[in-house]
Amino acid sequence: MNESARALWRIRMLHTLIWAVFAGSIVAIPVATSMGGFRAALWLSLLVWVEVAILLVNRMRCPLTGIAARYTDDRADNFDIFIPAWLARHNKTIFGALFAVGELYLLGRWALR
């Protein structure tokens, strides 16, 4: 494996690990909320809002995508991350909807306690 391929692999691995933290956080928000873990749900929510701010500052692209692009001409939906192409293509829609629903659930449960 040449140096560019190794660099791309490392970027893809880092991107995947970061994505897993945020995807897991989004899934965990309504779980923590349903168990009465409002503090945990709030911290997870704040973590995801930081990621949303980073995406907004970078025109809705992960900064790692631009770095990965330096090492390959491939522009498949998942060229910069180790997730299936269909998931990479619909990632923001899927997890954005889950996050919105989780946030509404958190707000509703918190207001009713």
What residues have CB less than 8 Å from 23, skipping those under 6 apart? 95
What is the spatial distance between Cα 100 and Cα 45, in angstroms, rounded to a whole number?
10
Contact 22, 47 (CB under 8 A): yes
| pLDDT tens series, the chain, 113 aa | 899 999 999 999 999 999 999 999 999 999 999 999 999 999 999 999 999 999 999 999 999 999 999 999 999 999 999 999 999 999 999 999 999 999 999 999 999 98
String of DSSP letters for 15-36? HHHHHHHHHHHHHHHHHHHHTT
Contact 110, 38 (CB under 8 A): yes
CA dist 54 to 8, 11, 13, 61, 62, Å? Answer: 21, 17, 19, 9, 8
pLDDT at 1: 83
